[in-house]
Structures are given as C-alpha cells and as structure tokens.
Amino acid sequence: MVNVDLIQELEDLRREALQAVADAADERALEGVRVTYLGRKDGRVSSILRRLGSLPPEARPAVGQKANEVKRALEEALQARSAELARRDGGTAVDLTLPARRPWKGGLHPITQAVDEICAIFRDLGFTRARGPEADTEWYNFEALNTPLDHPAADEQDTLYLVDSVLLRSHTSPVQMRIMEAYPPPIRIVAPGWVYRRDTPDATHTPAFMQIEGLVVDEGVTFVDFKATLETFARRYWGADTRVRFRPSFFPFTEPSAEVDVKRVIHRPDGSTVETDWLEIMGAGMVDPNVLANAGLDPERYTGFAFGMGPARIAMLKHGIEDLRTFFDNDVRFLEQFAT
Ligand code: PHE
C-alpha cells in the first residue's frame, strides 16, 4: 500500500535528515539541510506533505501525522544544533566587548521625592501625613476658609467646576477643615496633594500642581512656634546656614499672614560660598479664629498655624530646573537623571 511505503520513506528521511543536522559544521551547512528537507518548494518532507491531497482518503491521516512528526523532530534538531554552533562559536556570536545592557530601572518622580523629603522632615517634628479629596465643595475650598465667594481671593483661584458647587480644589487648605472636623486637637499634619487652577502652562505654572498643606492646632500655639517650626524645616531642607525671612502678606484664612523666603548658601567645590537671592517657598500664617470656629473649635481656647508650599517649585530650586513643564513632559531622559 502507498500508505505503508510513504511511512517507511518518512522514517528513512528522518534518520537521514537528523544525521545531516548532526554533521552540519556551521550555520550555512545547517541552512542547507533545512532547505533540503523543509524548504517550502522542494523540501523532501514538505513535498510529501503537499502530496497528501492526492492520496486515497483513508491513507491521509496516518501519512499526514507521520510527516508532521518528522517535520517537528527536524525543526527541533535544527534549533538545537544551531544553538550548539552558536555556543561553540561564542566569540563571534556574542561580542563580549560591547557594554552590557543594563536592566531598565524605574525611579520616583522628582516631585514625589521632594514630597517625601519634606514630609520626612515634618515627621521628625511630630507631624502626621494626611490627605483630603481633590474634588471638594465651595464651602471647604473657600467659605469655611473665611473666603466669601465674591472675595477677590476666590476670584484669583476661580477654578474648574464639576457640578454645581463641587470643584477641583484650588489649594490643599480645605484639608485643614476636614482634619479639624475629624480629629480633636492636638493636630499636627502635612497634607500633600494635587490642586487645580485655571492657568495657562508656562515655565512656572501648570493648571494641575502639587501642594503640601501644613496645620498645627492646639492650646497655647504661638507665633514663636510658627516661626521656629518653619525655620527648622527650612534649615533641615536647605542646610543649617540657610536664612529664613517672614514677609507680611494676606490670606483670608490666616491672621497674621506671611510669605516665607529662604536665602541659601551655596558651597563651591573650592571651599568658597555664595548666597542665593531670596526665594519664596511658601505662604503661611496663624489660623484665623473664624476658621477655627467654622470647624467647631473654640478660638478662645485653641490657636494654630498653617502653611502651604509647592514641592515642584522646591524641587526646581534644588535641582536647578528652569522650566516646570519638564516635570510633566514624561521624557524619560529627563526623569531618569533623578532616579535613585
Ligand atoms: N492655600 C494658600 C495658597 O494656595 C497657601 C497657604 C496655606 C497660605 C496655608 C497660608 C496658610 O496660596
């Protein structure tokens, strides 16, 4: 029967082909073997497979199965021999003089690093990390913070409304309220998070940015605590010889209010030093009694201070970055410089 003959022929082909594979001395010879047996046009195994259609139907399954079996065995042998040759010719297959490909390594975003560094300093000073919602109400974002909706300060932060009186918070100060409502004093928190403003992106503005809010509320908290805490933070972050300045300012939710500036001392490799200009790092002040009252705390009993800073700005100063937008371009070549 045709069937039996072909199966015998396939067995013979297998033996012959495997021997040829074993004898192949290099990649070229191996490729010759592949073409001889498995080549699409005239390959000897391939042409048997192609002839299947002309066999009597009852012979087809057995021959087809055998042919495929031979084909698979041959493919495996070709691959194994090829790997063996590559190992033998190691010097040419793998160029050991090329620099190694280092595995890709992720890292924390420079702004995240700044947030963590800042929060770590405050943790040493007894602060807990807190958070609040990014979508909040006009009450929490403005009114509870002593900012009437028709106040110019609300105008300045005219922001992105979602529905009715729900908006994307324009600062992290609403977290002050939510924490005071949820926890009794003493309160010492830092609350990092995203905030949103209707700003056109430029070198120093992006419509979404990070802030870190700080809040301390207790009995007997004074302006001295306020100054000392923020000075201690600034010296820990920027260096012990950093100078700190409190400039009078205005925020509806603090009284008195201040902008806090630092003047850093840069130490040059040759031992000389230079002072930077004054750099504004945060807004701050003593918590307004109205805010305490809005949170249900007795302003006769409790006092406190609050501050808000932008870690992206702080990261820019630290790394000498000139354009805020580069933080958000997601260019890995830029970001990987900060991966630690
Ligand atoms: N929320 C203010 C801002 O976004 C910063 C601030 C926070 C000022 C806390 C005083 C106290 O500009």
Last residue of a domain, one of 88, 122, 142: 88
**Candidate of 141, 147, 171 to mutate for ligand 1, largest count of ligand atoms within 8 Å of Cβ:** 171
Mutate to test the pocket of ligand 1, among 253, 257, 260, 261 (most ligand atoms within 8 A of CB): 253
Please report whether residue 96 resides in a domain.
Answer: no
> Do 122 and 163 lie in a common domain?
yes
User: Beta strands of 141-272 (E only): which ranges?
Assistant: 161-163, 166-168, 187-196, 208-219, 243-251, 254-263, 265-267
Residue 304's contacts (CB-CB under 8 Å, 6 or more residues apart) are 185, 187, 215, 216, 217, 218, 221, 286, 287, 292
Decide if pLDDT at 87 tops 60: yes
Alpha carbon of 323 to ligand 1 centroid (Å)? 23
Tell me: do 193 and 286 sit in the same domain: yes
Domain count, the chain: 2
Tell which atom from ligand 1 comes closest to the C-alpha of 211: 4
Position 103 confidence tier, pLDDT thresholds 50, 70, 90: confident
Mean per-residue pLDDT for 203-226? 96
- pLDDT, average across residues 95-122: 89
Q: What distance in Å separates the CA atoms of residue 36 and residue 12, rounded to the nearest whole number?
A: 14
In-domain check, residue 105: no
273 alpha carbon to ligand 1 midpoint, in Å? 33
* Euclidean distance between CA atoms 28 and 302, whole angstroms: 87
Confidence of residue 305 (pLDDT cuts 50, 70, 90): very high
204 and 333 together in one domain: yes
Same domain, 16 and 160: no
Mean pLDDT of 133-155: 90
In a domain, 81, yes or no: yes
CATH number of the CATH domain containing 255: 3.30.930.10
Question: Quick one: pLDDT at residue 92?
Answer: 59
Report the half-sphere exposure of 127 (CA within 13 A, side-chain side).
28
Cα 284 to averaged position of ligand 1 atoms, centre (Å) = 6
Q: What percent of the chain has pLDDT over 70?
A: 97
Which pLDDT value is given to residue 102?
78
CA 275–ligand 1 middle distance (angstroms): 27
3-class DSSP state of 261:
strand
Q: Is the pLDDT of residue 10 over 80?
A: yes
Residue 159's pLDDT is what? Answer: 77
Domain stops at, among 88, 119, 146: 88
What local confidence, expressed as pLDDT, does residue 58 receive?
87
Residue identifier of the C-alpha nearest atom 7 of ligand 1: 308
Q: Which atom of ligand 1 is nearest to the CA of 283?
A: 8
Q: Which atom of ligand 1 is nearest to the CA of 173?
A: 1
For tokens 């249900």, the residue is 296
What local confidence, expressed as pLDDT, does residue 120 receive? 98
Lining residues, ligand 1, CB within 6 Å: 171, 173, 251, 254, 283-285, 306-308
pLDDT digits (tens, 9 = 90+) for 156-175: 677 789 998 999 999 999 99
Question: Last residue of a domain, which of 27, 57, 88?
Answer: 88
Counting ligand 1 atoms within 8 A of each CB, the residue from 169, 209, 251, 257 with the most, and so the one to mutate, is 251
300 with 315: CB under 8 angstroms?
Answer: no
User: Looking at the predicted structure, is the pLDDT value of residue 104 above 80?
Assistant: no
Average pLDDT for 297-321:
94
Within-domain flag for 95: no
On whether both 83 and 114 belong to a single domain, the answer is no
State residue 328's pLDDT score.
92
Q: Which residue has the higher pLDDT, 340 or 310?
A: 310
Q: What is the mean pLDDT of residues 253-277?
A: 93
The mean pLDDT value of the chain amounts to: 91
- Residue 237 has what pLDDT? 94
User: Atom of ligand 1 at shortest distance to CA of 257?
Assistant: 10
Nearest to residue 29, comparing CAs of 40, 17, 11?
17
pLDDT digits (tens, 9 = 90+) for 220-248: 999 999 999 999 999 999 999 999 999 99
**Mean pLDDT, rounded, for 112-140:** 97
Report the amino acid identity of residue 188. R
Reply yes or no on whether the pLDDT at 280 is more than 60.
yes
Check residue 124 and give its pLDDT. 97
- The protein residue whose alpha carbon is closest to atom 2 in ligand 1 is 308
Please tell me the distance between residue 209's alpha carbon and the centre of ligand 1 in angstroms: 14
Are residues 215 and 310 both part of a single domain? yes
3 band by pLDDT with thresholds 50, 70 and 90: low
Residue-wise pLDDT tens digits, 173-205: 999 999 999 999 999 999 999 999 988 889 888
Whether residue 172 is contained in a domain is answered as yes
| Of 234, 251, 252, nearest in space to 243 by CA | 234
The residue among 161 and 154 whose pLDDT is bigger is 161
- Residue to mutate, 146, 173, 280, ligand 1, most ligand atoms under 8 Å from C-beta: 173
How many angstroms does the Cα of residue 196 sit away from the middle of ligand 1?
A: 14
Half-sphere exposure of 176 (CA within 13 A, CB side): 39
Task: Give residue 89's pLDDT.
Answer: 73
The answer to whether residue 99 is domain-embedded is: no
Q: Whose CA is nearest to atom 3 of ligand 1?
A: 171
Query: What is the b/e burial string over 241-265, where b = at least 16 CB atoms within 10 angstroms of the residue's CB?
Result: ebbbebeeeebbbbeebbbbbbbbe
Structural domain of 288:
110-338
Residues 130 and 194 in one domain: yes
CA of 197 to the centre of ligand 1 (A): 14
